[in-house]
Chain A
Amino acid sequence: MTKKFMLPMLITFLLLQSALSESDLYHYHTSAQNEKLVRQITQSSKDIMSYTVLTKTDSGKEILAVEITGQNHNTKPAILLVGGLEGYELTSVEICMDILKHISTHYSHDPSLSGLLETCTIYIIPNANPDASAHFFDSPRSQRKTNNLPVDHDLDGKTDEDGFNDLTGDGMIAMMRIKDLLGAWTIHQNYPVMVPCTAEDSLTERYTMHFEGFDDDGDGWLNEDVAGGVDLDKNFPYHFEFSDKEAGTYAVSQKESKALADFIFSHPEILLVYSFSDDNNLLTPWPASQNAGPEYMDEVQKKGVITKMLMEDALVMEQLTKKYRKIFQNMDYFQTEKNNGNFAEWVYYQTGRLSVTTPAWRFSLDPADSARCKNKDIEYYKWLQRSGHSGKVLAWQKIEHPDFPDQVVEIGGFLPNFRQNAPEDSLKPIFERNRLLVRSLCELLPKIEIADIRTKKLHDNIHHVDILITNKGALATSTEIGRHLRWVPKIRIQMDSKVEIFSGKNFALLDKIEGNGETRKVSWLIKTNKKSITLKVHSPVFGDITKEVTL
């Protein structure tokens, strides 16, 4: 290397070092900071990774995809990590960024990591939804999941005309309660938390609950048409919900969702997608069909809808579940219902890849607490107290509200956007566990090889040829549902073009080889006077394997 090149490289290295200083690692970054970091990291490790810009959002932010190949740039099975789907949750973005940083800094001196990347590729889209996550840093801060598309939520012909208002000027959109006989909320007997009225507290003070705000457009409703937008994790075609205004006009209507969909469909080598959402199918697996794949798919075609994982794929998922439970021990938190039109289910049901999804972080429940209840707000309140974050609850304070001159209006309650994101001081263990999980997932990917080519001479120049292909990885080469979708590629085994074929065709196609050593055979009857022939295995997932055999 000449001196001319050494200086810029040294600068990049120093910049990266400063960017990755320990103090900077464990906190939340803006999308501009993360975009810059991705560029710096991929530049400094450009022999093992690179990035592409999938699209630009309406506000001009870039959605970046990083391809980490290691030194082996050939086609290999891959996994994809997607962060930031749930707009108000940034922990997953930082998990993705951490994996990127970790690989960049550890690749050269961690043989198990460089070895792993010899057989697989890791794609990372750290933030699939940068317009939404940018609102994390807004002032006032509100709890917002959606991107910036103007939406007419209340169908009055105007968009985004009645959003939240920071009435107390503290930079936070907190809760607002209004004393009202017709209200359905009350204060819990033991905790300063608002709970729905039940028969037991029928005679207590009643409130209506809102977020902080005015009736900006004078239509008699509060905050009925807030700014934005579409919730990306509702904008995918599996069980898309047309009646939900936050789902978008139609599935994959958004630049963000289209970029994700096009990326996955154009990368058949991605066999597994790890995304972060409210759902956790490694802790609570999705329901599985009782029948084997082909029979279940017949049923699906008659009913016109698929609602269960195919039995074969559900069995495969168990292997992933085991790995997860080993790494993430004693997970005890409130599990939430998944959205219709979510990304993770769509990945499995409509792109035919394995899909795993977990929440990046949730506040944990105390196993020792005998007074545990089902009310999430109360448990969250207790967690805040327990974990030293009691400052995240605002004491109720009375205000004069012009829309309710004759009523008692108070602002207070939980501060926005804290419940969805891990406190910065707990990011480190979350990162470490996710590094382990991603490694384990990669280790399970299928590995195919030509196990043997057996030839038998039947007569001068007439040979019977068997090729045996084995999958030495734990996972099958494709999902069972993939066999019913056009988008999951087959493995093509090409006969030597210089022979005459009596039986068999120029090439044969295999649609799926099960994991843990299943072997499939393809046979030909050929005529040739050559001493040896070459067979080629070609797959958009596994690349090319060529083998010559002497006849």
Chain B
Amino acid sequence: MKNPIRFLLILALSIPLTASDVEKIEFVKSALKAMGAPNQPKVEVQWNRYYNNAQIGEICRKIAAAYPQLTRYEVIGKSYEERDIHSLTITDFSSGKPEDKPGMYIDGNIHSNEIQGAEVSLYTAWYLTENFEKNEWIQELMKNKTFYILPSINPDARDHYISEGNTPHSPRSGLVPRDDDGDGAINEDGFDDLDGDGHIVSMRIKDPNGRWKESSEITGMMVPCKENETGDYTLLGNEGIDNDGDGKINEDGEGFYDPNRNWPWSWQPEYIQYGADMYPLSIKENRIVADYILSHENIAGAQSYHNSGGMILRGPGSDSPAFSYHDQDRKYYDFIGKTGNKILPGYDYMVLYKDLYKAVGGEVDFFYGMRGIFSFTNELWSSFNYFGEKSKSSEFFGRREPVYKFNELLLFQEGIVPWKKINHPQYGEIEIGGFKKSWTRTAPSFMIEEMCHRNMAFTLFHAYNLPVVKFDEVTRKDIGDGLEQIDVILKNERVIPTRSYYEIEKQLTVPDFLEISSEDKNDVIAAMIVYDKYLNNTREIEKQPVRVKIDQIDGNATCQVRWIVKKGKKYTVKYTSKKAIDLESGL
């Protein structure tokens, strides 16, 4: 549809327009389209809030219904609590089957409270489909690539985070019940939302011998006393009650395992990796998603969205040599990651184990370790987003002062529950207050769209650089004795190789093949790979010369195969690759 307004006007000849329709059309016509989102998308989505899992499903289905030529919607499985795990396959279906093109896999929200990954994933699906018609770069991208988008892979706990009392950091786990404190009872002592406001904040009690006081500069912020000071308060942790009378508060709530420490490859049990759970992919949602990924052999790039800290992370999460990434693959990671530093101001390209912390059994390592897939994890929302300065503090979530200041100057105090008195069944009169669950790790409404767009742009850059292979040259030459020499040169026009060095070394995946066929199989006499055409350095393929195995076609590089064949016959050469589009050429 070239001109939607004209289309609507034509439609109006047969269907009477209402007054509000007319008003809308007039408005859109007169508004200047900003760069980016279309003025009148087929699917209206507000990118200034966080959706629950049912709403995510609804948006997915709307996109799929509006763009059936570009989208396929699927429920790939049900979570522990029987929620749908949604997926969208996005590509230009008219130019080929999705499974034949290199795939870019995108997911969000494996940690349930790290909620905004789902919105970035959804925005990507929405933006690609809404802009396909007008943007040639996107048309080209979707002709050559397939996107597999799973907005939330931890839907139970996402909904729990939204609808139940939580902190910005909980539940993190999924909702499969676990006995966290080994007392034989399960989830018996989680948070208690004492005032029922949906936010689990902090508890403090007035105490003339306490070691905490309120900051003199920032209202409501608690600071520890210096050695020579006396305080007014003792801090009591997060809102909660000792529900089981064991002398501890909130020691066994929802979950607990870490869904992002439960993946095969570098997985290690609990005594090495907290949250690993019983065995790799013991968590139902993870197993469904892992099997989905493994069953799509065309996936060549992967992106997961987390929060927070402004990071573009790559693996490995382990410092063990057994799980190190291949030297030769690092340059591709660096190329994508360092461009990410530009696309995402306030984000840093980092290596998980040495720049952040050691963590094994992560999803990011699963992609690379199992299938050689180039994969990144973005930690959305950075302290840079407050006032254009990234916190240098050693505190994991950045310094608290800018958070309070931003809350005061831009949120007009909305992000914080002010301290208020409440009666606690065990402590008596206490005060509760502090950050709301939807503040400190998640973007406020007016910054969500930019977060979505910039992160999408990084992922599209990655997707663009997945392999695009072409026949560079196909030649036939008479070499006498009734024979001909056929030379085929294949070229990868993008940065990422058709197979990573790691998957070649570990023999993880099916290699690429270049096959020749003719009417009679005895027409093909011999085959060789030419690895230096100037010096004529070749390696003969003794076994099965009609089907030449190619380890990879490197980024922006070529690969040459030569056959000696009988003269004057009709030949066809066919290139097959799991992570590049197959090609065929008649000779």
Chain A residues engaging chain B, CB cutoff 8 angstroms: 152, 155-157, 218-221, 236-237, 240, 242-243, 249-253, 261, 265, 297, 300-301, 304-306, 349-350, 484-487, 489-490, 492, 505-507, 509, 511, 538-540
Contact = CB atoms under 8 A, between A and B. Distances in A.
A502 B508 CA distance: 62
Contacts of A252: 279-282
Contact of B280 (A155, A237, A349, A489): A237
Given A220-B543, A250-B281, A261-B278, A484 B509 contact: no
B183 A492 contact: yes
Contacts of B247: 505
Given A250-B264, A305-B320, A511-B182, 4 more contacts: A220-B542, A220-B544, A237-B269, A492-B183
Contact of A251 (B179, B279, B510, B511): B279
Given A487-B278, A490-B182, A155 B507 contact: yes
Contacts of A236: 279
Majority secondary structure of chain A interface residues (helix, strand, loop or mixed): loop
B545 to A, nearest CB: 10
Nearest to B297: A157
B16 interface: no
Cβ-closest 6 pairs across A and B: A220-B543, A250-B264, A506-B245, A484-B271, A252-B279, A157-B510
A40 to B, nearest CB: 34
A292 to B, nearest CB: 15
B176 to A, nearest CB: 12
A297 B246 contact: no
B265 A250 contact: yes
Interface string B284-321: 00000010001000000000000000000000001110
Nearest to B358: A304
Contacts of B508: 242
B281 A509 contact: no
Contacts of A242: 265, 369-370, 506, 508
9 contacts: A236-B279, A237-B279, A261-B278, A304-B358, A305-B272, A306-B272, A350-B279, A485-B269, A485-B271
B524 to A, nearest CB: 13
B260 to A, nearest CB: 16
Contacts of A265: 278
Contact of A505 (B245, B290, B294): B245
Contacts of B270: 484-486
Contact of A297 (B184, B271, B506): B271
B271 A219 contact: no
Nearest to B541: A220
Interface in B180-236: 180, 182-184
B245 A489 contact: no
A240 B270 CA distance: 16
Interface residues of B, number: 44
Nearest to A217: B544
Contact of A490 (B183, B511, B544, B547): B183
A251 B369 CA distance: 13
Contact of B184 (A253, A486, A539): A539
B127 interface: no
Contacts of B265: 242, 250
Interface string B154-194: 00000000000000000000000011101110000000000
A251 B576 contact: no
A135 to B, nearest CB: 26
A489 B179 CA distance: 9
Contacts of B184: 489-490, 492, 538-540
Nearest to A495: B245
A304 B321 CA distance: 11
A83 B179 CA distance: 31
A35 B271 CA distance: 39
Nearest to A266: B278
B268 interface: yes
Interface string B537-574: 00000111001000000000000000000000000000
B267 interface: yes
A237 B278 CA distance: 10
B360 interface: yes
Given A486-B270, A487-B278, A506 B246 contact: yes
Contacts of A155: 507, 509-511
Contacts of A484: 270-271
A219 B506 contact: no
A60 B141 CA distance: 44
A43 to B, nearest CB: 33
A306 B271 CA distance: 10
Given A261-B279, A486-B270, A490-B183, A249 B320 contact: no
B51 interface: no
B244 A506 contact: yes
Contacts of B319: 304
B513 interface: yes
A509 B508 CA distance: 47
A63 B338 CA distance: 52
Nearest to B505: A243
Contacts of A152: 510
B294 A249 contact: yes
Interface string B22-58: 0000000000000000000000000000000000000
A511 B542 CA distance: 64
Contacts of A350: 269, 278-279
Contact of B183 (A300, A304, A306, A509): A509
Contacts of B179: 486, 489
B271 A243 contact: no
Contacts of B272: 300-301, 304-306
A509 B182 contact: yes
A507 B183 contact: yes
Contact of B513 (A157, A218, A221): A157
B299 to A, nearest CB: 14
B435 to A, nearest CB: 30
B513 to A, nearest CB: 7
Contacts of A249: 264, 294, 370
B290 to A, nearest CB: 8
Contacts of B245: 505-507
A243 B370 CA distance: 10
B422 to A, nearest CB: 24
A17 B282 CA distance: 42
Given A485-B270, A492-B183, A505-B245, A219 B281 contact: no
A489 B184 CA distance: 7
Given A221-B543, A509-B183, A156 B510 contact: yes
Contacts of A243: 506-507
Contact of A489 (B182, B271, B506): B182
Nearest to A346: B279
Give the interface centre of A157, A265, A486, A538 by most chain B CB atoms within 10 Å: A486
B267 A251 contact: yes
A339 B455 CA distance: 44
A349 B271 CA distance: 10
Nearest to A484: B271
A486 B256 CA distance: 11
A272 to B, nearest CB: 19
A304 B244 contact: no
A490 B181 CA distance: 10
B182 A486 contact: yes
A489 B547 CA distance: 57
Contacts of B278: 261, 265, 350, 487
Contacts of A507: 183, 245-246
Contacts of A156: 510
Contact of B576 (A157, A240, A505): A157
A294 to B, nearest CB: 11
Contacts of A157: 510, 513, 576
A221 B544 CA distance: 10
Interface in B254-270: 264-265, 267-270
Contacts of B281: 250, 252-253
Given A155-B509, A237-B280, A265-B278, A250 B370 contact: yes
